Amino acid sequence: MVCDFFHPNVGGVESHIYMLSANLIKRGHRVIVITHSHPPDRVGIRWLLPGLKVYYVPFPTIASSATLPNFLTFLPYLRTIVLREGVELIHAHASLSALGHEGILHAHHMGVRTVFTDHSLFGFDDAASILTNKLLEAALRNVDAAICVSHTGRENTVLRARLPPECVYVIPNALVADQFKPDPNAKKTNEVTIVVISRLAYRKGIDLLVATAPRICALFPNVKFVIGNDAGADGPKMIDLLQMREKHTLQDRIEMLGSVRHSDVPDVRRANPGSIFLNTSLTESFGIAILEAACAGLYVVATRVGGVPEILPDDMMSFANPDEDDVVRAMAEAIDIVSKGQHDPARAHARVKQFYDWAQIAERTERVYSNVMRTRPRSFWVRLQRTLELGRFAGPIFTIILLVDCLFFAFLEWWIPRGTIDKVQMHWDHQRFEEVWCCRGRPLEHC
Q: Does 155 score more than 90 pLDDT?
A: yes
Question: What is the pLDDT averaged over residues 279-290?
Answer: 88
- Determine the distance from the C-alpha atom of residue 331 to the mean position of all C-alpha atoms in its chain, rounded to a whole number: 27
Q: Whole-angstrom Cα distance, residue 285 to residue 164? A: 20
Residue-level pLDDT at 431: 66
- Taking phi over 0 as left and psi of -120 to 50 as alpha, with beta for the rest, 391 belongs to left
Mean pLDDT of the region 269-292: 81
Model confidence pLDDT, tens digit, residues 359-398: 999 999 999 999 999 999 999 999 999 999 998 899 999 9
Q: Count CB-CB contacts under 10 A for residue 354.
A: 9
Whole-model pTM: value is 0.88
- Segment 112-139 mean pLDDT: 89
Domains detected in the chain: 12-174+359-436 (3.40.50.2000), 177-355 (3.40.50.2000)
Tens digit of each residue's pLDDT (9 = 90 or more) over 171-194: 999 988 888 888 777 777 788 899
- % of the chain with per-residue pLDDT over 70: 91
Q: How far apart are CA 42 and CA 65, in angstroms?
A: 14
User: Which pLDDT does position 184 carry in this prediction?
Assistant: 75
The predicted model gives 68-88 an average pLDDT of: 91
Structure-model confidence comparison of residues 328 and 428, the more confident one? 328
What's the confidence (pLDDT) of residue 153? 92
In our burial notation (b when 16+ CB lie closer than 10 A, e otherwise), range 201-217 reads: beebbbebbbbbbbebb
* Torsion from C-alpha of 229, 233, 234, 236, nearest 10 degrees: -100
Distance CA 69, CA 46 (A): 24
Element holding 247 (H helix, E strand): helix 238-247
- 268 pLDDT above the threshold of 70: no
